[in-house]
Amino acid sequence: MTTYSAVVTTGIYCRPGCGAKPLAKNNRTFELAAAAEAAGFRACLRCRPYRVAGPIGSDAPELVCRAWQLIIDGVLDHGTEAALAERVGLSPRHLRRLFVKHLGASPDQLARSRRAHFARRLLDDTDLTALDIAFASGFGSLRQFNRIMREVFRASPTELRARRRRADRLVADGGLALRLPVLPGYDWDAVRTFLAVRATPGVEAIEGDTYRRTVTVDGAPGVLEISPHGEGNLLLRAHLPYWEGLIHVVDQVGRLLGIDTDHSAGIAALSADPLLGPLVRKRPGLVVPGVWSPYELGVRALLDHAPGGAARWMAAIVTGLGTPVAGLPGGLTHTFPALEAMTLAALTALGLPEADATAIAELGPIGYGTDVDDQVGFRLGRREAFPAADPSLGAALADLGLHPSDAGQWRPWSALAAVHLMAHGDSLPLTRT
């Protein structure tokens, strides 16, 4: 886990490896940059801690993780802590107490820090105007943006942009390029392979070391590309119709790639397991990927055992009911259909068996607060979810002489155990269709 060091005498906090050498007695440590800021410290100008990954630990309580996912979805952009607390079934006071105890900052403080850090990265990486950055980062106005940036960084956006270094500015051949900080050891190859096996035809594609997918943002199509970008970062190229709310797009990408949670505690625990240890030690940087669209995941889960295989029917659904997008690279052809397009009549017209078509037609919206089974919850961040019905997981268990009931011994890291088993299952012949 990233640990930030704050110096009481200077009021500055730093990321690991910073050249500053304060006396140990003057140091305080924080697991999140937002916690250091909530305690009154400001970011170091030399090491720029806002540029490194700072995901919450996977050992935080499940309710805190769920509330954090809702913050990522923008619940606090225009809502209150009381509304967030109601979404997770807690009182506002108790929710604040849990956040301060486990994360070192309140929900509002975390949301503010998240917006400010994202805006600071845009000031470094792009040439977007201050107004565009304000709305791309989830601020309600330019005035609020200027005020929060001064509070967090002790400087105006204009002053902060003047401090950016020559190597910071990214130039993309079309679209907007942004760095995505990842924790040391993050295994992009393993995550990309996992996503490739489960890619939705026409919507997702992997070419070389680059992952691409189509998206729909407020009804308009876009394309996202993710590729490696030196140590400690991935590179996102976003081709979108506009930049307002970009922070939520980038956060969804982070969730898809599994970079918004620190799995180090689970890796340490499972590495010592006599059954899973060899698999975990083989891919210690493999994380549990999330999803871009929970609804798309729900459809895929319902089709995993449909006649002919999920990939075949997902392709038919995308081609028959999705929105065509012309001129895209790597086999991308459509955006995934909206829920409203997935009617029983439309699905059966594609030839889908009536039972499967009915199940999909009756599938409602799925969010991070929705009560779902392990098959879906596994990729929605439920760390004890164990998707035993997944074909790759079943193949791995059979190959290793294990049974789904064995998952109990891997709690509370069942989801992390599952992703390593699934990666093993993916490598076996004829696992998926």
Domain boundaries, the chain: 4-52, 57-162, 176-426
Query: For residue 269, what are the CA distances in angstroms to 3, 273, 277, 398, 411?
Result: 20, 7, 9, 23, 10
What is d(CA 55, CA 69) in angstroms, rounded to the nearest whole number?
Answer: 11
CATH fold of 57-162, please? Arc Repressor Mutant, subunit A (1.10.10)
Strand partners, 29: 5
Number of alpha helices (DSSP H) and beta strands (DSSP E) in the chain = 20, 13
- Selected catalytic residue, list 14, 44, 47, 65: 14
What is d(CA 75, CA 52) in angstroms, rounded to the nearest whole number?
Answer: 24
CATH number for the 176-426 domain, one of 3.90.420.10, 3.30.310.20, 3.20.20.480, 3.40.50.920?
3.30.310.20
- Residue 47 a catalytic site member: no
Query: For residue 76, what are the CA distances in angstroms to 64, 92, 201, 247, 312?
Result: 15, 13, 34, 13, 39
pLDDT of 172 reads 63
Sign of CA dihedral 385, 390, 392, 395: positive
What is d(CA 6, CA 8) in angstroms, rounded to the nearest whole number?
Answer: 6
Task: State which residues of the chain have pLDDT below 70.
Answer: 1-2, 20, 58-59, 171-173, 369, 430-433
Burial degree of 430 (CB within 10 A; 0-12, 13-18, 19+): exposed
- Architecture of domain 4-52 in this structure: 3-Layer(aba) Sandwich (3.40)
Using alpha carbons, select from 286, 176, 163, 329 the residue that is nearest to residue 240: 176
Give the chain's radius of gyration (CA, Å): 22
Hunting for tokens 């081709």 — which residue is that? 239
- Selected catalytic residue, list 125, 251, 304, 390: 390
Burial degree of 91 (CB within 10 A; 0-12, 13-18, 19+): exposed
Query: For residue 29, what are the CA distances in angstroms to 4, 33, 37, 187?
Result: 6, 10, 12, 27
* Contacts of 5 by beta carbon, 8 Å cutoff, 6+ apart: 13, 14, 16, 18, 22, 27, 28, 29
* Contacts of 176 by beta carbon, 8 Å cutoff, 6+ apart: 126, 128, 237, 238, 239, 240, 243, 246
Query: For residue 40, what are the CA distances in angstroms to 28, 237, 274, 301?
Result: 12, 34, 45, 46
- Ramachandran angles phi, psi of 44, nearest 5°: -65, 135
Other beta carbons within 10 Å of 21: 6
Query: For residue 348, what are the CA distances in angstroms to 308, 340, 358?
Result: 15, 15, 9
What is d(CA 59, CA 412) in angstroms, rounded to the nearest whole number?
Answer: 9
Give the number of residues written for the chain. Answer: 433
- Strand, coil or helix: what is 409? helix
Using alpha carbons, select from 417, 411, 420 the residue that is nearest to residue 384: 411
pLDDT of 336 reads 97
Domain 57-162 in the same topology as domain 4-52: no
- Residue 390 a catalytic site member: yes
pTM of the model: 0.86
Q: Within 13 Å of residue 348, how many CA atoms lie on the same side as its CB?
A: 8
